[in-house]
């Protein structure tokens, strides 16, 4: 079981692998957030997962709260999903033809998600979001989209604007937000065609739609901000976005890459009572495999018919992967969706335990959650009285990024794995138990006490 964390010790297997990895991989890893940006002195190399635990290259086991950035809704190597994958592999990996399983999975998605009348499969959340972008533009004949500060929709140019955490001044005045490219290499055209707004602010959205609705193809939103920790929508905000987009004749694209098949059978749309025109799924849909989907109203999706608006892909609806997805969705809908009730109950226990640990340690921090997604925000000096983080500007103004990173490293040493970036978040899976939650709470209690000592 959990042993003392060996990965940060010089001479550990992770240290050796990192030294080798740096010779042949950029930053020694395969995505910047996994590398030296977030991990000290180096990332922990993982070797395997089992249920709610992940085991590193030195054999140390951790309760996994990151779960592949939320993808592993049933944890690691769920026996039923492994059996399904093994059986499907014997029938062949890929046909790139029509197949029965794609019909069966699409039928399930349409039954589960209110706005999903037609489905088009892709491989990753980024890819599905790119297909959604082309669809809303092609369908409306308009080029401009509205996205919100701090929302991430994958790394395509059109969405790579004002997604990253920034110091508050960098966003400009909320009446005239400054669009900030997330990266070099974004074209001026992409920047011109993406308008940004602060989230959770229906008045500013209305002002923009009043002035520019005729140019705007869609308003694009995460239903819960999941790339600045966890920021739930303000009461009535999503309904206001729905009402305004309908009133001004603009499409509403809700990106459920994170929230789909995680916050409920019908995703965040069901949870918050809002229906998009177009939506997309990734992470939870694939249960750890690269499966994503674009879905929506059938009159809009019909625009993809015959390739008039193109969405190609050799790997679209890969039958090997979809066999697993079919079983995963059946597990989620079994017993009237009991899995989601249980996830919420476990998350309530974890959130209450973390809040209690924070209060007992006297460390200035908040916990925000939506279903089984949660994040701890440590507050900067002078910002201790802040009661909630409501958007990217609050995040930039109040959140102590370094303290969160320190917290994550203390948790690694306690045998709990989570993303060390404060902009990401923790999740639970259907195979976590009360005992796992209690272990996490006990570990976090010790970490909070240590952080309180360090702050004095
Ligand atoms: C809301 C949202 N959309 C899209 C994506 C991109 O998904 P992927 O990493 O599978 O390309 C992410 C990834 O974190 C996301 O959080």
Q: Ligand 1 centre from 343 Cα, in Å?
A: 21
Phi/psi region, residue 394 (left: phi>0; alpha: psi -120 to 50; beta: rest), is: alpha
Q: Compute the distance between CA of residue 30 and CA of residue 311 in angstroms, rounded to an integer.
A: 26
Q: For domain 13-77+336-455, which CATH number applies: 3.90.1150.10, 3.90.1170.50, 1.10.3720.10, 3.50.50.60?
A: 3.90.1150.10
- Residue 156 Cα to ligand 1 middle (Å): 11
Long-range contact list for 397-400, CB < 8 A, 24+ apart? Answer: 397/168, 399/165, 399/229
Confidence of residue 9 (pLDDT cuts 50, 70, 90): low
The residues spanned by each domain of the chain are 13-77+336-455, 80-332
Active site residue 283: yes
Catalytic, out of 58, 272, 283, 394: 283
Across residues 165-175, what is the average pLDDT?
92
CB count in 10 Å sphere of residue 246: 12
Mean pLDDT over residues 53-68, rounded? Answer: 97
**pLDDT band at 146, cuts 50/70/90?**
very high
Question: Which is nearest to 201 in space by CA: 230, 245, 234?
Answer: 234
Mutate which of 154, 224, 289, 292 for ligand 1 pocket (most atoms within 8 A of beta carbon): 154
- Which among 182, 153, 337 has a CA at the least distance from the CA of 258? 153
Substitution candidate for ligand 1 out of 33, 129, 132, 257 with most atoms within 8 A of CB: 257
> Which of the four pLDDT bands, split at 50, 70 and 90, describes residue 168?
confident
Query: What is the best residue among 69, 126, 254, 392 to mutate for testing ligand 1's pocket, by most ligand atoms within 8 Å of CB?
Result: 126
Which tokens go with 56? 């590193």
What's the pLDDT band for 333 if we cut at 50, 70, 90? very high
Q: Is 152 in the pocket of ligand 1 (CB under 6 A)?
A: yes
User: Rounded to an integer, what distance in angstroms lies between the CA atom of residue 343 and that of residue 429?
Assistant: 7
Is the separation of the CB atoms in 156 and 189 below 8 Å? no
385 Cβ contact list (under 8 Å, min separation 6): none
Q: Is 114 a catalytic residue?
A: no
Q: CB–CB of 231/390 below 8 Å?
A: yes
Residues 80-84 have a mean pLDDT of: 98
Residue-wise over 25-50: b if at least 16 C-beta within 10 A, else e?
eeebbeeeebbeebbeebbbbbeebe
237 in ligand 1 pocket by Cβ < 6 Å?
no
Give the model's pLDDT for residue 2. 38
Which tens digit of pLDDT belongs to each residue from 113-131?
999 999 999 999 999 999 9
Assess contact for 182 and 161: CB atoms under 8 A: yes
What is the tens place of the pLDDT at every residue in 357-396?
999 999 999 999 999 999 999 999 999 999 999 999 999 9
Residue in 268, 451, 454, 453 with CA at minimum distance from that of residue 377: 451
Rg for the chain (alpha carbons), in Å? Answer: 22
User: How sure is the predictor about 5, in pLDDT bands with cuts at 50, 70 and 90?
Assistant: low
User: In angstroms, rounded to a whole number, what is the distance separating the alpha carbons of residues 168 and 173?
Assistant: 10
Q: 181-202: per-residue pLDDT in tens? A: 999 999 999 999 999 999 999 9
CA torsion 70-71-74-80 (nearest 10°) is -170
CATH topology of domain 80-332: 3.40.640
**High-pLDDT (> 70) share of the chain, %:** 98
Taking the C-alpha atoms of residue 241 and residue 269, their distance in angstroms, rounded to an integer, is 12
pLDDT at 1 over 70: no
- The pTM of the full predicted model, rounded to 2 decimals, is 0.96
Helix ranges (H only) for 173-262 are: 188-193, 202-212, 237-247
Tell me the average pLDDT of the chain: 96
218-228 tens-digit pLDDT: 999 999 999 99
Binding site membership of 222 for ligand 1 (Cβ less than 6 Å)? yes
């Amino acid at each position: 079981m959990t042993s003392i964390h060996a990965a940060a010790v010089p001479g550990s297997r992770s240290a050796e692998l990192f030294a080798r990895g740096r010779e042949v991989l950029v930053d020694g890893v395969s995505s910047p957030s996994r590398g030296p940006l977030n991990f000290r002195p180096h990332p922990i190399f993982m070797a395997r997962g089992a249920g709610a635990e992940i085991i590193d290259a030195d054999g140390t086991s951790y309760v996994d709260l990151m779960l592949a950035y939320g993808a592993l809704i049933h944890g690691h190597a769920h026996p039923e999903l492994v059996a399904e994958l093994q059986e499907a592999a014997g029938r062949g990996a890929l046909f790139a033809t029509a197949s029965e399983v794609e019909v069966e999975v699409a039928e399930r998605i349409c039954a589960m998600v209110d706005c999903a009348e037609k489905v088009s499969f892709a491989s990753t959340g980024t890819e599905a979001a790119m297909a959604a972008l082309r669809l809303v533009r092609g369908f409306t004949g308009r080029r401009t989209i509205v996205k919100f500060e701090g929302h991430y929709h994958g790394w395509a140019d059109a969405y790579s604007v004002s997604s990253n955490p920034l110091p508050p001044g960098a966003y400009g005045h909320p009446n005239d937000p400054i669009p900030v490219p997330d990266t070099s290499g974004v074209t001026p055209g992409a920047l011109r065609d993406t308008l940004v707004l602060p989230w959770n602010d229906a008045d500013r959205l209305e002002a923009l739609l009043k002035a520019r609705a005729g140019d705007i193809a869609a308003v694009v939103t995460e239903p819960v901000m999941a790339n600045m920790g966890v920021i739930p929508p303000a009461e009535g905000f999503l309904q206001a976005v729905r009402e305004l987009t309908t009133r001004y004749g603009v499409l509403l694209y809700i990106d459920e890459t994170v929230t789909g098949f995680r916050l409920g059978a019908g995703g965040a749309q069901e949870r918050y009572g809002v229906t998009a025109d177009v939506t997309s799924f990734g992470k939870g849909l694939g249960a750890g495999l690269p499966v994503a989907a674009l879905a929506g109203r059938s009159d809009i999706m019909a625009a993809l018919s015959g390739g008039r608006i193109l969405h190609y892909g050799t790997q679209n609806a890969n039958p090997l992967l979809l066999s697993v997805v079919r079983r995963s969705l059946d597990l989620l809908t079994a017993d009237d969706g009991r899995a989601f009730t249980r996830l919420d109950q476990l998350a309530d226990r974890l959130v209450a335990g973390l809040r209690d640990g924070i209060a007992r340690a006297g460390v200035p921090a908040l916990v925000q959650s939506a279903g089984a997604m949660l994040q701890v925000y440590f507050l900067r000096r002078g910002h201790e009285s802040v009661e909630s983080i409501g958007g990217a500007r609050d995040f930039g103004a109040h959140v102590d990024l370094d303290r969160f990173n320190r917290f994550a490293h203390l948790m690694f040493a306690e045998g709990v794995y989570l993303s060390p970036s404060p902009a990401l978040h923790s999740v639970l899976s259907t195979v976590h138990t009360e005992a796992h939650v209690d272990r996490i709470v006990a570990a976090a209690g010790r970490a909070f006490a240590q952080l309180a000592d360090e702050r004095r």
